Structure 1
Amino acid sequence: MAIVRPFKAIRPDKKYADKVISLPYDVMNREEAAYMADGNPYSFLHICRAEIDMPEQKNPYEKSVHERAKQNIIQNIEDGVFVVEEKPVMYLYKQVMNGRTQVGIVGCVSVDDYQNNVIKKHEFTRVEKEIDRINHFDICDANTEPVFLTYRDNKKIRSIVEGWISSHEILFDITTEDGIQHTLWTVDDDSVIKNLSELFGEIPALYIADGHHRSASACKVGLKRREENPNYTGEEEFNFFMAVIFPDNDLRIFDYNRVVKDLYGNTAEEFLKKVETAGFEINEKGSDVFAPTGKHIFGMFLNDKWYELQAKPEIIPDHVIDSLDVSILQNNVLKPILGIEDPRTDKRIDFVGGIRGLKELERRVKTDMQVAFAVYPVEIADLLAVSDNDMVMPPKSTWFEPKLGSGLFIHKL
């Protein structure tokens, strides 16, 4: 059963919170981070992307970058930009995007739960990205950004959350430049914290929605600290890492679309014929953007035209992974017809998050690509089913919005 506990957070002082909050470290490059933080010395990008405070040639994976991040945390505490909670607390974190609301509980989860698969995964991680976050967390002596977890909705937990929100003062209420509203409440009542922890203790599993590298890295830092402290009791903070935990019913997964550089030697006519032969019914839609209307329906943009591709029943397997639309597209079009053997490494394919809209697919095809595929979004139920079966999603299957704000809380190890 899941362990969720309070922690003595480092967080922004109220008067600085709207200046500190930033996007997560992994949704931008160095140049974008520098632009976003320009003129704002309080931006959390000076911590999660500390290379922006160093010479331009600085490798963001170098340990000196993380040393700079550590110094920036210390300086912010000394300057009063950050404060340290007097006691372990939880938080409630509400995000509103385009009228849709999701409310999560901020607390710490267990390294052992990650190890024992109580915290379930659905993605592979890359070693170099893990090492980077291991160094960052270890040198900073803190989880600087939370992991995004979900769980199957629980009426008792939801009742406590809604009750607290309706009767307690807001800590932060920030609307960022992208239009996302971030609202935070401090849960400092020991009896309520105990009740929430006990209710999570009855939940069989938590699921990583976003943040597989942060989770894996936080776990490995915890294990490293255990080796360095052989008399550890299990209660030390390094045995836990920070997460925001949302009920599954609150969440929405956006589409994650594909663009390919060429037709692998085929003419457009040959390619369309091969797609049809591969098991798709093709309907030409013309110049108007076509968005998939349901599972196993794809949009395709080719030669300034949109097409609807409907997968026929015979190519839809009864398998939790292979029946996903991203798998159907990979196994029947991208690999056999376009020669994309491994989408993780092939330079001829790129991925476009659905938040950018389908017009972005048109733009890419008109600039540096030749064909685009719009994919119906994976559903939360699919993600949970894959995780429950200890399987791994195909690469670039899920895109969650809104992203968690970084800088609202830090967990010191």
Structure 2
Amino acid sequence: MANIKAFKAIRPSQDKAALVASRSYQAYTKKERKGILSLNPFSFLHIIHPGYKLNKKLSGNKRFKLVHERYMEFLRDNILMKDAQDSLYIYQIEKEDFTCCGIFCGTSVEDYKNDVIKKHEATMQPREELFANYLETVGFNAEAVLITYPDNELISEIVCNKKMEVPNSFFTTTDKIKHKVWKISDKNTISLIQKEFKKMNSIYIADGHHRSASSHLFASNSKEKNPNHSGNEPYNFFMSYLIPESEIKIYEFNRLVKDLNGLSKKEFLSKLDVYYEVENLGFPLYKPKRKHQFTMYLDGEFYCLNLKNKVYNFTDALSKLDTQILFKTVLDPILAIKDLRNDKRIKYGYGKNNIKKMKNEIDCGKFKIGFSMVPVTINEIKAVADAGLVMPPKSTYIEPKLRSGLLIYEL
């Protein structure tokens, strides 16, 4: 069963919510960050990038300690304020082409440890240790883990009824996205929601594998240091945004490769013929239509690659995944790309007009060849996670992408 916790969130004061909430640090270009930091003194970027005011770069524990100091400054100046009651928080995001609504809460590190909270990506120990140290020093969690759960009629009814009320916070950001937050403080309503989650055998991480792994490590370290550990301490939970499976949006990542591994075009196409029926479609943009079908762009022409099922063996949930199929049949054996995470010869593209962007990068000579596929489904993600397997890097680009500083969980 899945255990969730209400908590007293730290939130921006209503008049400054739009100014405080930021995208993740990496989502901005260097120029964008500089502009925001110079023009907006309330941006959460000032907390996570504390060296700006000092005009110097900071790293390690020096940076972490200053992050904590900036956070305390925001609290003292009432830019950030702590709620008086333990609550769950409904958060709705509205974009031109996408709307979703989920619940901010605390999720259990024991559930993570015991695989109630399922994973589908591998994590790297150095990053886990670095972020665990960060959590210990700064004392808060400002970036929620995105977790999906099976659509639930009672939870949906509670959320819909709450959304009929005036939001506790409502603002629109400069990227034309509307943000609404409703606070659920009624104990009976919180209990009803908790009981529904306790009926669920599994919930699934969509985005935030390193954040959840680091939170688990931080909790383990904190438990060892606390002789009076009870299991109720804040460090036993990490902040998550729980969203129904039907409301997440999954996009594909394209693969762009810089060369043909020393092969001529004719030799490369000949090797493809082992696993694929290869059809030259010419110049018009082409997107794949179904699973196990790939778009390939090479030398100004689009190709359709249809997997020969009689040649390729499906052995488990991972082997059925298009990103894994492409790796096992093309990227590794033909193009000699062994390390999808670190090989400098491969790049990943995503977003609107993805095929067109891929074509442009190849036409201008940055890359030699590109591949596209249909997006991974939530059922495929769950099947891989249920089997305890790990998806290839950059298999999914998932929305929503959450704002930092909108709600903060103190540790």
CA distance in 1, matches of 2:81, 2:399: 28
CA positional deviation for 1:51: 4.7
Say if 1:7 and 1:88, in contact at 8 Å, map to a contact too.
yes
Say if 2:129 and 2:217, in contact at 8 Å, map to a contact too.
no
Distance 1:54 1:332, change over 3 A: farther
CA distance in 2, matches of 1:377, 1:183: 28
CA distance in 1, matches of 2:320, 2:397: 18
CA distance in 2, matches of 1:13, 1:290: 48
CA distance in 2, matches of 1:286, 1:56: 52
The corresponding residue for 1:150 is: 148
Taking only the aligned residue pairs, the percentage that are identical comes to 35
Match of 2:254 among 250, 253, 257: 257
CA distance in 2, matches of 1:402, 1:87: 27
CA positional deviation for 1:318: 4.5
CA distance in 2, matches of 1:213, 1:27: 17
The corresponding residue for 2:374 is: 376
Residues 290-299 or 171-180, more deviating: 171-180
The corresponding residue for 1:42 is: 42
What RMSD in Å do the two structures reach over aligned CA positions? Answer: 1.8
CA positional deviation for 1:50: 3.8
The 5-angstrom pairing of residues 395-406 of structure 1 reads 395-406=393-404
SS of residue matched to 2:143: coil
One-letter code aligned to 1:19? L
Match of 1:345 among 332, 342, 349: 342
Distance 1:263 1:283, change over 3 A: same
The 5-angstrom pairing of residues 96-175 of structure 1 reads 96-166=94-164, 168-175=165-172
CA distance in 2, matches of 1:235, 1:273: 61
The corresponding residue for 1:295 is: 291
Say if 1:93 and 1:183, in contact at 8 Å, map to a contact too.
yes
One-letter code aligned to 2:46? H
CA distance in 1, matches of 2:132, 2:30: 19
SS of residue matched to 2:367: coil
CA positional deviation for 1:209: 0.4
CA distance in 1, matches of 2:65, 2:136: 10
CA positional deviation for 1:379: 0.4
Match of 1:270 among 267, 271, 275: 267
CA positional deviation for 1:108: 0.3
CA distance in 1, matches of 2:291, 2:37: 40
Distance 1:148 1:293, change over 3 A: same
Say if 1:180 and 1:402, in contact at 8 Å, map to a contact too.
no
SS of residue matched to 1:185: strand
Say if 1:316 and 1:328, in contact at 8 Å, map to a contact too.
no
2:182 maps to 1:185: yes
The corresponding residue for 2:2 is: 2
Say if 2:51 and 2:57, in contact at 8 Å, map to a contact too.
no
Q: Deviations over 1:109-135 (max 9, x none)?
A: 111111111111110112232233212
CA distance in 2, matches of 1:70, 1:382: 40
SS of residue matched to 2:78: coil
SS of residue matched to 2:370: strand
Say if 1:111 and 1:241, in contact at 8 Å, map to a contact too.
yes
CA positional deviation for 1:136: 2.0
CA distance in 2, matches of 1:92, 1:191: 16
The 5-angstrom pairing of residues 384-403 of structure 1 reads 384-403=382-401
CA distance in 2, matches of 1:219, 1:356: 38
The corresponding residue for 2:351 is: 354
The corresponding residue for 1:320 is: 317
CA distance in 2, matches of 1:140, 1:381: 37
Residues 264-273 or 29-38, more deviating: 29-38
Say if 2:100 and 2:400, in contact at 8 Å, map to a contact too.
no
Say if 1:182 and 1:405, in contact at 8 Å, map to a contact too.
no
Structure 1: gaps spanning 5 or more residues: none
Q: Deviations over 1:170-212 (max 9, x none)?
A: 1222332333322111111111111111111111111110001
State TM-score, norm by structure 1. 0.94
Say if 1:33 and 1:49, in contact at 8 Å, map to a contact too.
no
Match of 2:84 among 62, 65, 86: 86
Residues 259-268 or 97-106, more deviating: 97-106
One-letter code aligned to 1:2? A
- How many residues are paired up? 409
CA distance in 2, matches of 1:70, 1:287: 55
Say if 1:48 and 1:144, in contact at 8 Å, map to a contact too.
no
One-letter code aligned to 1:211? G
CA distance in 2, matches of 1:340, 1:374: 17
One-letter code aligned to 2:34? A
SS of residue matched to 2:39: coil
CA positional deviation for 1:24: 2.1
The corresponding residue for 2:14 is: 14
Residues 81-90 or 265-274, more deviating: 265-274
CA distance in 2, matches of 1:30, 1:238: 33
CA distance in 2, matches of 1:37, 1:25: 12
SS of residue matched to 1:322: helix
CA distance in 1, matches of 2:350, 2:217: 29
CA distance in 2, matches of 1:259, 1:331: 16
CA distance in 1, matches of 2:26, 2:129: 14
Q: Deviations over 1:260-306 (max 9, x none)?
A: 1111001222222221x232122223332211111111111111222
Structure 2: gaps spanning 5 or more residues: none
CA distance in 1, matches of 2:49, 2:373: 32
CA distance in 2, matches of 1:372, 1:292: 13
CA distance in 2, matches of 1:97, 1:369: 32
CA positional deviation for 1:55: 4.4
CA positional deviation for 1:152: 1.2
Q: Deviations over 1:220-256 (max 9, x none)?
A: 1111111111211111111111000001011111001
The 5-angstrom pairing of residues 235-250 of structure 1 reads 235-250=232-247
